Amino acid sequence: MELERDVILVNEDAEAQPLLPKKPVTPLPKFQLAIVLFARLAEPIAYTQIFPYINTMVEELHIAPPKQVGFYSGLIDSLFALTQLCTIVHWGGLSDRIGRRPVILIGMSGVSIATLFFGLSNKLWQLLLSRALIGALCGNVAVIQSVISDITDETNQNKAFPLPALIWYMGAVIGPLIGGLLSHPAERYPNVFGSIPLLKERPFFLPCFVSVLITVTATLVTVFFLEESLPRITRAKRLKSPSATEAPSSASNDVEDPQKLGATEGASQTFGLLSSPTVRRVVFAGFVMEFLMMGFDTVFVLWSYTPLSLGGLQRKPAEIGLVLSVVGTFGIASTTVIFPYLHERFKSVPIFATCVTFFGLVYAMVPFVGLVVRKVLPPVSPEQPAPPLKGLWGLVLALLVAARTGAMAYPAYLLVVKEAMPDPESVGALYGLATAAGCLGEGTAPAVVSSLFALSIDKHLLGGNFVWAVMTGLGIFAAWFAQSLKQRNKVGLDNSPAY
């Protein structure tokens, strides 16, 4: 009896103890992380600084009549992501071969040159070419995410992975402020810029120039301080170090193994990742998420610029830029405070699915906000100045806050991609695929959604609300699809349970 009692006590003690000790949290490499995030800041500023003034720019350059402004501004906006789609996978694969650092530097140099060219453009083909060059030369989205994956591990990635989204929101605050406040500087600030002929002839050059200054600064910081993070290259450096303890034969095999050097070489290897059903579903989810997010960003600016008589808000570029920047601060707070709190309590896929659901709600809210605005404000013609919104700005801000809440799907999605990683050596390739899918969503959404918006108003479909009905339906589909995603477990990629 005494022996049985001892056995029972031992078993109870064993059950009370965890099977595996909890791994200590690895400290984040803060300096390198800060540098790579500063490099990330260049793209969202260059991308979003045109939002407040692009419709005005199209109209003032006589590119299109007022009813077609939305189509052409959407076309210009779409080219960035469409050309990025054509090159992003190759940039990601190239970073797996030659290193992350040189690809990041190429990307920022391309953004600088093309953004400067955009500010000097006064014809449609020039605007299209410069916008296409910005997208084609910049593969930094996937590469920077690969750097963060390289320098973090499973114990600290929940803190590091939301940071690119935080930087995007910072860029989304800075960019619209630059574009809204610095366009037409000779007219707006005559005492400072009124004597500069270039700014009179090119009223949209100054915001582009300021964006370039930020990008050039980030490029110089990257040149002098960013260390290479590609695991194969960092291992080679450690093995060549005098303090390395590994055997020479091990070093030779690790550094010069041709199979490892060519593991991700070529587009066929990159697209071979799509043979996994889980990877395919994750990549498609990224496309739908970006389509919803970028579609709203585009159509909100267009809706805000559209005359009250046509169902819009009839706001000026400076007002649009300011409200986008104000709400961008909520995006920063949601990424730095709310998302880490949620991720400590829930898995990545449920967070992703819940956030995506918000976009169906946001698109459904827009026509109701517009209806309230038209009921409260006195009717005016498109040529007359619109009355101030005053307290109605609260409804617009609520709409944007809901959209920024839904945008927390992005950091959750990055973690979903990380969990779907079939091979640590294909980090850049998989992030390249995921980013390519996102670029397809970003590239098609502005043209598709702005065209739907123009069609809804021109043909008065569903009372001008056809675009909101279509996008609400897509938001509902996206929420359903996100719920069906599978997460990778430790046994294997395609054996993971559905959430």
Q: What is the pLDDT of residues 371-380, one digit of tens each?
A: 898 888 887 7
- Average of per-residue pLDDT across 444-463: 85
- The pLDDT of residue 424 is 61
266 occurs within a structural domain: no
- Average of per-residue pLDDT across 319-331: 82
- The pLDDT of residue 35 is 93
- The pLDDT of residue 215 is 93
What is the extent of the structural domain holding 157?
Answer: 33-226+287-489
The rounded mean pLDDT for the chain is 79
pLDDT digits (tens, 9 = 90+) for 77-97: 778 777 877 887 788 778 888
**Total Cβ atoms within 10 A of residue 280:** 15
- Asked whether the predicted pLDDT for residue 14 surpasses 50, the reply is no
27 occurs within a structural domain: no
248 occurs within a structural domain: no
- Our measurement of the distance from residue 372's CA atom to the centroid of its chain's CA atoms, rounded to an integer in Å, reads 31
Q: Mean pLDDT check: name the lowest of 6-10, 94-98, 127-131, 191-195.
A: 6-10
Tell me the CA end-to-end span of the chain in Å, nearest whole number.
47
More confident residue, 38 or 384: 38
- Average of per-residue pLDDT across 197-202: 90
Q: Which residue has the tokens 């992975």?
A: 161
Angle 182-185-189 from CA coordinates, rounded to 5°: 110
- The pLDDT of residue 7 is 41
6 occurs within a structural domain: no
Find the DSSP H helices in 121-189: 124-137, 140-151, 157-160, 163-182, 185-188
- The pLDDT of residue 43 is 82
- The pLDDT of residue 422 is 65
8 occurs within a structural domain: no
More confident residue, 210 or 382: 210
Q: Mean pLDDT check: name the lowest of 298-307, 410-419, 422-431.
A: 422-431
234 occurs within a structural domain: no
- The pLDDT of residue 321 is 81
- Asked whether the predicted pLDDT for residue 316 surpasses 90, the reply is no
- Average of per-residue pLDDT across 452-474: 88
Q: Which residues touch 251 (CB under 8 Å, ≥6 apart)? A: 236, 239, 240, 244
- The pLDDT of residue 419 is 77
- Average of per-residue pLDDT across 328-350: 81
More confident residue, 151 or 384: 151
Q: How many CA atoms lie within 13 A of 105 on its CB side?
A: 14
Return the CATH number at 307: 1.20.1250.20
Backbone angles phi, psi at 352, to 5 degrees: -60, -45
- Asked whether the predicted pLDDT for residue 212 surpasses 70, the reply is yes
- The pLDDT of residue 210 is 95
424 occurs within a structural domain: yes
Q: Is 64 exposed, middle or buried (0-12, 13-18, 19+ CB in 10 A)?
A: middle
Q: Mean pLDDT check: name the lowest of 34-43, 237-246, 328-337.
A: 237-246
- Average of per-residue pLDDT across 357-377: 90
293 occurs within a structural domain: yes
- The pLDDT of residue 219 is 94
- The pLDDT of residue 437 is 83
| Tally of domains within the chain | 1
- Asked whether the predicted pLDDT for residue 364 surpasses 90, the reply is yes
pLDDT tier at 347, thresholds 50, 70, 90: confident
